[in-house]
Structure 1
Amino acid sequence: MQLTHIDLAGEHPLSFSQRRIWFVDQLQGHSRQYNLQGVFTLRGDVDVAALQQAFKDIIKRHTILSYNYKSTADAQPCQYFNGHLAFSLQQIDLCTQADQQQLLQKMIVEDYNQSFDLTSQLMLRASLIKIADHHYQLLVTVHHIVADGWSIGLICRELASNYNQHIGMTNATDLQTLEHNYIDFVHWQHRMQADPQWQISIDYWRQQLAQLPTVHELPTQYERGNDVLSGGGLYKTVLSPALTEQLRLFIANQGDTLFVTLQTVFTLWFSRVSGQSDCVLGTPVAGRVAAELEPIIGNFVNTLVLRNKVSGDTCFNQALADVKATLSEALLHQQIPFDLLVDELATERSLAIPPLVQVIFRVNNTINENLQLAGLSIKASQSKVRSAKLDLEVSVIDTGDVLEIEWLYDTALWHQANIETFFAQFSYVLQQCLADQSVKLAELILWSPSQHAAALSHSDSIDIQNTQPSPLHVCFSHFAKQHPQHPAVRCNGQTYSYLALEQRANQLAHCLLEMDFAAQSRIAILLPSGAAMVVAILAILKARHVYVPIHQDTPVKTLSYIVEDAELMMILALSENADTLINSGADFCSLMIFLMTILTSTATRWSSQMNNSASMSKMMI
């Protein structure tokens, strides 16, 4: 990697990840969703002056923290070093306050929600809140445009080194001299676009992501809106000790990584729950493709789009090999920024639907973020304030003893009960895969026996006396809007989505309405089980009529009796059934027979007296 030292003076381009953040910030007006916040509890005697100077040393060492952003004359974003920005450690004293905890939580939330002005402010701020003698809370917030998860670890390590030096615990800092800074990387990234290997990687991603699904089909509690993603909910849990031990044993025997194994299981769970065979998940990579980038604070993180296709016959072992191969290829081309792919693939931009991927799965391997200041006992607390940048982000943290799993989700789509269900299903799928590596996707069960029994017990306890359930066709339409590509019917080797059936049912319903029958007229269905029957039932209900199911093998004489007794206005049948009825010579009076070719563009309407079966007309639906 050939980095060139760039002078601080002048205007510089933005990295591709920075451009996306700048775009969102301009669109939403100083968005706070890209605030990265650390919360630390300090116990002991804090040297405030030393702490403030330690922060200043970081800012001086990593000049990217002092950059501001603006648009050029041709409306392109640029960044420039602002040497006039000064850091000041904010100090707040709550010692005399009675409601300290409430005030503290309010301050943490307010600090997180306080957006950065990218045009005029320092990109790092810190507050030291005194709770009592020898008891402090330290809030450190940095903007994502200049930092990533790896950078947070660097800030903690350098803050400790600087602080310990300033209080006299060490004679000199143990930090290595930086040969380059983030701006050097930005210019390298733009120069790389002229490299032949860059174009090879672009071509790989174009082929790999061709005809990518627009959005995932995981079931949601609420319908997706047209506005930007809302607040984030965080559900933290751990994998059971028994399942964790079983997983570690499997990995040791197979030689696979924790990420590849869990990514495979997550892919199978994703397909099983969403009904999608084309599974698209994202995973972040550090993006520090050379050793000289590792000690630099900046936004290097990149998102890899991992696309795996599965079917009902795909077994766990096969999926494991496919996921491993997909990941290996993606890593070979990881230098292409995710945000450049969005542009290259001409992906439609939407505030409501993140481009390319909406679901992230990761196994964290960032630098240890613990803060260690001499003479102080420190406990890092995870900020409870979160913003959902995507629909769902699942993070597995291997602590050595347990596997923690964090589910960060968009609260506009789900509530925590939904996510708890997801975790229970994922755990049971993992259990089945580890028990039998040949298990096929179609054989995976989402609910364990105990979970199934608990769900039934819960449903029995629900008071339904005052509920007003929606009609079947209304529920179907609502689900079709939320999950248009979700499989609704599988039969005879064919799969029909909710959208396909909803569209055909609407077309057929319009045809029935044109018949001008009285409401609640009885219409018979003489169809085999499958998509055709589903469409017929929905169409009849949509047209405000009543359906009467009749078995295909019903004798003509019996059918004639049913027609008279039920006062049928029409029979919906396939061509072969209709021909049999007409050729039987039976007198069905003024019965209308509608011949359907389900999921195609035509249907034939027969309107006749049985004595004059030759009169017929065609209708497009």
Structure 2
Amino acid sequence: MARRPWPRAERSFKDVDDMNDLNQDLLAALLDSEDDELIAEGIPALAAPGVALPLSFSQQQLWFLQQYEPGLTAYNLPRVFRLRGALDVGALQQAFQALIDRHAVLRTRYESRDGVAVQCVLASAPFVLGHEDCRHLPAREGQARAAEAVDRTVSHVFDLGTAPPLVARVVTVSADEHVLAVCLHHIASDAWSNPLIARDLAEAYRLALSAGDGPPQWPALPVQYADYAAWQRARADEGGFQRELAYWNAHLGAEVPTLNLPTDLPRGTQRRFEGAAALFEVDAQLSADLVGLGRALQCTPFMLMLAAWQALLSRQAGQGDFAIGVAHAGRHRPEARALVGFFINTQVFRARVAPGMSWRALCRQVRENTLAAMDHADLPFEVLLDSRTERRDPARSPLFQVMFGLQVDDGQTTLALEGLQADALDAPATGAKFELSLDITLTGGLLQGRLEYATALFTPTTAQRLVEG
């Protein structure tokens, strides 16, 4: 499914339901707003084999986490598909290699030079598609082998010093049934990248089928992710984020209270990343009622569901003042929209749920905060964090402890491999990035949810209770 973080999800919703025209026009204007002078400058193409370039701010955070905990899998991005039809495994291997050749971030390794993390694009990064043929086995055993391959793939521990940051395995269960598991490290990809990967992999597979042994031919991309990372760093060095920094520090205030949710297990002295997920679905009638409520309040689904999440957390913690992290697509630059890479940025929304506050007032407050955030969306979270003076607790993530995201399933990440039908399967959870992360997906007017939770703090029973509200 397409899981694109806001704000692009807000625009996609325009195709799902006819929300208030004025509200949508305002959102669209904000989405398309970007400093014309900055766009005119363009992103310089600097990435080349052997050239060490800085990490983006988001990449640097993940690099440090992986150095701190080398076995970390919480930042794995897995996808699993059941493929039906005649699969050419050799062509699929070529397609993955072509994908890696096209997107330099997939043939990049990361290292420390003189105490500074850098990324180095490689001229090539050979890829091997794991394949297990189980056609000779009983059906039940073949399915068990496929499940084992999925588990190995999604829980793969990446060495960021080697490329590619991608693993994939396919298990042939029968002549016309296959299970494909793909996993990337978040340092090289994000939710917006999913449709790009699906599109390019499908095109490369089609070309590999028709080209025989020859590699697919691709037009070159004008810039690569490492170019964007270098541009972002240069902009920060030149003070290009000062307007956004001033806004976010004013929004958050001098000190952000820690969200003290009651836990089932005692909190340790260090942050841990083990996790699981609870899935749920809102029935059609309630989904329609929520959409109608949002229309009446002039709120998009993102605003409505974020307000509901704030209210639930406030009730659970007995606390009205705290912060929530919100994933933002981070692809304002036109050059970025065709690139696989880790562009997603985290914005920090301060929740202020006052005693006796009406639902309408809470939604209005979230709406105002959302629109203001969209107008100050460029600031890297790490730049904001570096400017803050709150005391750090090694057992908690800084500034916020819970996340929220809303995505729209627009079908663009369907893996349309020629001659095959691909059905997405749920991938096992590989960890928890935060104490709680709520992701809502809007699919044809229906709301589906995934609550990721830290198993070092919460039991499955508590997660289910939260899901049920």
Q: Same fold (TM over 0.5)?
A: yes
Is 1:117 matched with 2:174? no
Match of 1:516 in 2: none
Amino acid at match of 1:21: L
- Correspondence list, 1:560-579, <5 A: none
Q: For residues 392 and 185 of structure 1, do their structure 2 counterparts lie closer, same or farther at Cα, with a shift above 3 Å needed?
A: same
Aligned-partner SS, 1:255 = coil
- Correspondence list, 1:235-314, <5 A: 235-314=278-357
Offset of residue 138 of structure 1: 1.1
Aligned-partner SS, 1:6 = coil
Offset of residue 106 of structure 1: 2.1
Asked if structure 2 preserves the Cα contact closer than 8 Å seen for 1:17 and 1:337, the reply is yes
Match of 1:95 in 2: 135
Asked if structure 1 preserves the Cα contact closer than 8 Å seen for 2:287 and 2:445, the reply is no
- Correspondence list, 1:477-556, <5 A: none
- Among 210, 235, 248, the residue aligned to 1:205: 248
Is 1:4 matched with 2:44? yes
Which protein is bigger by CA-based radius of gyration?
A: 1
Match of 2:121 in 1: 81
Asked if structure 2 preserves the Cα contact closer than 8 Å seen for 1:154 and 1:295, the reply is yes
Is 1:26 matched with 2:67? yes
Asked if structure 2 preserves the Cα contact closer than 8 Å seen for 1:270 and 1:279, the reply is no
Is 1:388 matched with 2:432? yes
Asked if structure 2 preserves the Cα contact closer than 8 Å seen for 1:42 and 1:378, the reply is yes
Match of 2:423 in 1: 379
Which deviates further from its counterpart, 98-107 or 21-30? 98-107
Amino acid at match of 1:373: L
Q: Distance in 1 between matches of 2:348 and 2:109?
A: 30
- Among 272, 277, 280, the residue aligned to 1:234: 277
Q: Distance in 1 between matches of 2:100 and 2:361?
A: 49
Match of 2:452 in 1: 408
Offset of residue 387 of structure 1: 1.1
Q: Distance in 1 between matches of 2:419 and 2:72?
A: 37
Amino acid at match of 1:50: A
Identity, % of aligned positions? 28
Q: Distance in 2 between matches of 1:197 and 1:121?
A: 32
Offset of residue 137 of structure 1: 1.2
Post-superposition Cα deviations, 1:84-113, rounded to whole Å, max 9, x if no partner, equal: 521122221223345333332222212222
Gaps of 5+ in 2: 1-38
Q: Distance in 2 between matches of 1:252 and 1:341?
A: 33
Post-superposition Cα deviations, 1:499-535, rounded to whole Å, max 9, x if no partner, equal: xxxxxxxxxxxxxxxxxxxxxxxxxxxxxxxxxxxxx
Match of 2:466 in 1: 422
Q: For residues 328 and 269 of structure 1, do their structure 2 counterparts lie closer, same or farther at Cα, with a shift above 3 Å needed?
A: same
Which deviates further from its counterpart, 320-329 or 173-182? 173-182
Amino acid at match of 1:124: L
Offset of residue 62 of structure 1: 0.5
Is 1:356 matched with 2:396? no
Match of 2:150 in 1: 108
Aligned-partner SS, 2:456 = coil
Asked if structure 2 preserves the Cα contact closer than 8 Å seen for 1:109 and 1:385, the reply is no
Q: Distance in 2 between matches of 1:179 and 1:287?
A: 19
- Correspondence list, 1:463-478, <5 A: none
Amino acid at match of 1:386: T
Post-superposition Cα deviations, 1:381-405, rounded to whole Å, max 9, x if no partner, equal: 1212331010111111111142111
Aligned-partner SS, 1:155 = helix
Match of 2:109 in 1: 68
- Among 170, 193, 209, the residue aligned to 1:128: 170
Asked if structure 1 preserves the Cα contact closer than 8 Å seen for 2:134 and 2:174, the reply is yes
Aligned-partner SS, 1:32 = coil
Q: Distance in 1 between matches of 2:458 and 2:245?
A: 35
Q: How many residues align?
A: 423
Offset of residue 44 of structure 1: 1.2
Gaps of 5+ in 1: 426-621
Q: Which has the higher contact order (CA 8 A, sep 6+)?
A: 2
Post-superposition Cα deviations, 1:71-92, rounded to whole Å, max 9, x if no partner, equal: 112x111111222521122221
Post-superposition Cα deviations, 1:557-586, rounded to whole Å, max 9, x if no partner, equal: xxxxxxxxxxxxxxxxxxxxxxxxxxxxxx
Match of 1:225 in 2: 268
Which deviates further from its counterpart, 335-344 or 18-27? 335-344
Asked if structure 2 preserves the Cα contact closer than 8 Å seen for 1:44 and 1:135, the reply is yes
Match of 1:531 in 2: none
Offset of residue 18 of structure 1: 0.6
Asked if structure 1 preserves the Cα contact closer than 8 Å seen for 2:86 and 2:176, the reply is yes
Q: Distance in 2 between matches of 1:147 and 1:376?
A: 25
Q: Distance in 1 between matches of 2:403 and 2:310?
A: 11
Match of 1:530 in 2: none
Q: Distance in 2 between matches of 1:196 and 1:145?
A: 25
Offset of residue 144 of structure 1: 0.8
Aligned-partner SS, 2:348 = strand
Give the alignment's Cα RMSD to 1 decimal.
2.3
